[in-house]
Structure 1
Amino acid sequence: MLHPRLNTPVLFSAVCCLFMASGVFTETAVTCENGSVHQLGCRNNEVISVQSALYGRADSVTCSEGRPANQLSNTMCSQNGILDLVRRSCELRQRCRIDMRDVRTSDPCVGTYKYLQTNFICLPAIQEVTCEGSTAQLRCGRGRVIFVYGAYYGRRDRRTCSDGRPQSQVENVNCINPAQEVPQRCNGRHFCSIEASNSVFGDPCYGTYKYLEVAYVCISHLIVFSFSGFNMSGSTETMLNFSTTILLAAVCLFMASGVSAKTKVTCENENIQTIECNENEVISVDSALYGRADRNTCSQGRPFWQLFNTGCSQSGILNFIKERCELKQKCEVRMSDVRNPDPCWGTFKYLQTDFTCLAAEVDITCENDKAKLHCGNWQVISVLSAFYGRRERNVCNDCPLAMSQNVNCENPTDVVAEECNGKKHCNIKAANSMFGDPCKGTRKYLEVTYVCICK
């Protein structure tokens, strides 16, 4: 379990952020006794957090159609161990299926018509699944760091990481161990790689081909230190018994940092990929692929042999996309710029960019004026980026033409973050005396991109 050692500032942050977390709702899935499969599902870039589960009957209305009154009258009927069963199958996954035969192993109330009801919430998250022997790579964009909800090493279904494996290596689906090494190594970092192997996590089920599951979010680098007292340890049952308060606090903090995860896919034969956020948001590129990682994306009308190679990727694409799009409101990438060289001839490829839109303020202050950064009640400044110089001709151009022509004068600076992070208001002069002079004779300006987070 995530064991909280919460102090007053963390609780205050959680309370503050709950006002901002209106996008988190409890959802309910119900399957009647004679059903075959119980299914839970969240949208892309979300994972399941199971809040409660019941197999039995708690009212006389649910699954009552066509049933006589004597099968509905016992509303105090429940099967022991159902919550743990559902969590083992579904916790921190995007979707899951539970065979009702696994639920009906005993009858808690003979003669009563029962149902399985699960209440759950969908948490915004990045889900990383890495087959045994490969390396998981967790990454966050500029100004944000990793916060791991949970991680498991083992196997809890027969489909994941099953290609080319004999049945004997995938049939044990009750093999799940907490992987506390992941948050210990990765929390608070921009990038983290960790091998999915027995040497790192131990072997929870000898002879079974395992995989590593990680659910995490990217949050402001200031926020994660509020959770530095969290750790993952204990038994599998304890690990699966996530605290609603703690998960909501984490997701509230995530939402308070103004992050919404998105994916853009452009097929090989298209001309331009356009990445765009709403007004008062900026792009932070999380990952990018030019190649093919599955057989479904951009597959319509394509022969099988053009979709077969799912291990195809062009090197350097992430840095290429970041250079063009990072911390902009909108950017365009020409597909002709990413097609060469061809990473896998004969495979029909696509460009997939995973990015988040950071709710951000952009403050531009002309040379010798004062930048004034400010946040609302209960919030403080967190600077994502700042530079002093010039990269546009039509900004702060109230000067002779020659003083605004040099647009290759960009000097990134940490001074603004050092001066302003954690403050409600911050004034700082845009001057050579503060930032140095990156281009003499050019009229410069200070551009700061920042977010307001709960303090």
Structure 2
Amino acid sequence: MMMRPYLTVVLVLLSTVAVCSKQAGIIKICEGHSSKITCSGGTKIHIMKAIYGRTGKDVCPSKAIKTTSCLSESSTCIVKAKCNGKSSCLLKASNDVFGDPCVGTYKYLEVEHICRIAFFFISAVCSKQAGIIKICEGHSSNITCSGGTKIHIMKAIYGRTEKDVCPSKAIKTTSCLSESSTCIVKAKCNGKSSCLLKASNDVFGDPCVGTYKYLEVEHICRMDQQPLKDSSSFEKKISSHLLIFQTFGNCMMMRSYLTVVLVLLSAVAVCSKQAGIIKICEGHSSKITCSGGTKIHIMKAIYGRTEKHVCPSKAIKTTSCLSESSTCIVKAKCNGKSSCLLKASNDVFGDPCKGTYKYLEVEHICR
């Protein structure tokens, strides 16, 4: 008898989930075309996975198929940033959006999504600290998670998308936001139990000069996820080389193997001859260019100052400052393109050390 109410609750919960997720599915958009994802009944889009490229021949068939194993690494990230939390979202399968992971091959965008209530009532008890905070420009606020849970940032917007939040006479536009908002807040808060945020141009850059802005952050508190135990592809390659060395029983065979490895390394050196590091002094711009059908891949970026002799100046108060979002911003701007113009500016990266003349240092390869 006591089990009956429990079963009733379970059935209600299951039926609720079924209703919430009935619009879930997969859409496939051929290159050059657009399609819309729509969620109704108060539910919102949640992107599970996205692939832009080509992994088979049957989808969007074409004569222009040179490979069936290519995808843009940033596909899921880009689609999540564009659609998550919205009731409707228009997507275009285009190199302009995702870069071109396989030149000469006709591609498509495949997106797996579900429609769900913004915060499931099932997890209301576990995630009761979840919510949205809004911080007016120039002010700060703290996100705190208790009970052993950690912060997980869903979305962040620095700029202005409406008039009612942080009202002011200084509103020139209601359609501006810093593209790096979510990236910066994630880098600062994810995995922590407490995080202090400041709504400031020094942190996010100034996406709309002359408009009074605010920072809006959507977050949840959740238990830490266990890190993946699988080794990285690089570690696997190293392990395979060590296994080969252990297998070879004599020096002659090892010498032959080393010769092959050196030849391969020299070949890689030739293929990556466009790789390098560029340094751009604050206020200046420079371009990264990859030729021969190769595309830019950003390894690391630093905006700030870590040494004196780069972009020398009298205005150096510190040599240990950098914008935490540097790499993320440059990757979003350049990865997968053949050419990319970068500007070393506080408007782009925020100001990590006021009064110090800074520079942007970017390490990249063409591949």
TM-score by length of structure 2 reads 0.37
Which has the higher Rg, Structure 1 or Structure 2?
Answer: 1
Which structure shows the higher helix fraction?
2
**TM-score, normalising length: structure 1:** 0.31
